[in-house]
Amino acid sequence: MARVRFEQVSKFFDKSVTAVDAFDLEIKDKEFVVLVGPSGCGKSTTLRMIAGLELPTTGKIYIGDKLVNDVLPKDRDIAMVFQNYALYPHMTVYENIAYGLRLRKFPKRIIDEKVREAARSLDITELLDRKPKALSGGQRQRVAIGRAIVREPQVFLMDEPLSNLDAKLRNQMRAEILTLRERINTTFVYVTHDQTEAMTLGDRIVIMKDGVIQQVGTPQQVFVHPANRFVAGFIGTPQMNFFRGTLHCEEGVFSVQVENFRVVLSEEKQKRLREQGALPGEVIVGVRPEHLQIGDSGISARIGVREMMGSSIHVHLTAQDRDVVAVVSGMDDAGHLLREFPAGAQTSLSFSGGAVHLFDTETEQNLEWKAVAAAETEEIIHAEIPDVKADLSSKKQKTGKLFAFLQKNPK
Ligand SMILES: Nc1ncnc2c1ncn2[C@@H]1O[C@H](COP(=O)(O)OP(=O)(O)OP(=O)(O)O)[C@@H](O)[C@H]1O
Ligand SMILES: [Mg+2]
């Protein structure tokens, strides 16, 4: 069993820097979890604590059922690809990859098989006799991955393993990591600051900011139900647009207004806002670029530049004195532009009542999940998404938990 569990783990450096703050997470056996967030948010520190290279200042870390706070890195059965892929400079690529296996006294023939297989899958066979200094950054990174994959550990830790590769190689390696995962079928904890990488690789994503977990969920959950404005802006590209708006509630029906544009919210959103006891007033209105319509009525906007992306067009506009992006499919089947978007022209933006995300102007929490701690949205969203496997009793339990939470935290 290679479950990894964090219980209220914090890490302070020099008493003044809080790198990781009250981190609570359970990574399931054989799960692929991605830690994502901006530079300095504590991703590497979290990973290094699993590896045993940093000790938690407070809290507990378990691998399987074993408390590992005092277990040395070498006794943890983990393999790690470091952010700076430290290779042994005096060894060839072959020796670098073989080193961990030699230490564990594998027979020569098995070592040779494993090294050559790893080299083949990473496309570095022709580099096996070279020393690291004669490699490019991307090649070194692949050697570092090779060194880790031959180990077949219980837990695989990867810290930005693709950051030095060009876009094409990165896509290729991403696919390679997915294949690797199927082949070695172990628990992966993967760190990146790239949300696309997180979305494509992770079974679940942990979004961090300033050492604090903002949300844990599947790629779909964090995209569709971002817990707060930070997650909403971080996940999805181009990023979500934000407007100043007002939430109205008339005869129990919620609608949202931005300037003169007003739209009644979808039934699903109405229900959640009612459950949360949302109150009318100023709100931050989030709309993804692909959900904005450019037309004759709505929020007034001025067209700026447009970027032709091939199948779609990213139209940049200014509305409410800020930059807004709308993604439109601008071509017919024959590749002719359907519409012109002349720079400087006045236009209007609108959106549907099912596509808006509403955030508190002060706390920036998603109003549909406002009363719930970010890490708990996952559980509650799970309860909302029909799950054929979930039996009735567990559903009841979850609903009960939500109910108890709301009772404890009346708005
Ligand atoms: N050894 C250290 N001594 C003091 N501060 C540290 C140390 N290691 C990390 N930090 C600080 O802890 C915070 C988290 O660092 P960490 O390396 O975990 O961030 P990260 O999310 O991996 O960032 P990046 O994406 O840039 O790699 C940062 O503010 C960093 O400056
Ligand atoms: Mg890092």
34 plus 136 within the same structural domain: yes
Domain holding 212: CATH number?
A: 3.40.50.300
Ligand 1 pocket, 48 CB below 6 A?
no
Residue 372 has pLDDT above 80, yes or no: no
Residue with tokens 């027979």: 107
Tens digit of each residue's pLDDT (9 = 90 or more) over 213-231: 999 999 999 999 999 999 9
Structural domain boundaries, residue 149 = 4-224
Cα of 121 from ligand 2 centre, angstroms: 26
**Residue 231, amino acid:** V
276 plus 340 within the same structural domain: yes
pLDDT at residue number 411: 34
Asked if the structure places residue 262 within a domain, the reply is yes
pLDDT at residue number 389: 30
249 plus 318 within the same structural domain: yes
161/180 Cα distance (integer angstroms): 14
Cα of 96 from ligand 2 centre, angstroms: 23
How much is the average pLDDT of 30-43? 96
pLDDT at residue number 288: 98
Atom in ligand 1 nearest the alpha carbon of residue 20:
14
- Top-confidence residue, 1 or 176: 176
- Top-confidence residue, 144 or 169: 144
Give the pLDDT band (50/70/90) at residue 157: very high
Residue 339 has pLDDT above 70, yes or no: yes
Residue 297 has pLDDT above 80, yes or no: yes
Q: How many domains does the chain have?
A: 3
| Poorest-pLDDT segment among 27-31, 212-216, 315-319, 406-410 | 406-410
Residue identifier of the C-alpha nearest atom 5 of ligand 1:
13
Asked if the structure places residue 102 within a domain, the reply is yes
Residue identifier of the C-alpha nearest atom 20 of ligand 1:
40
396 plus 313 within the same structural domain: no
Asked if the structure places residue 364 within a domain, the reply is no
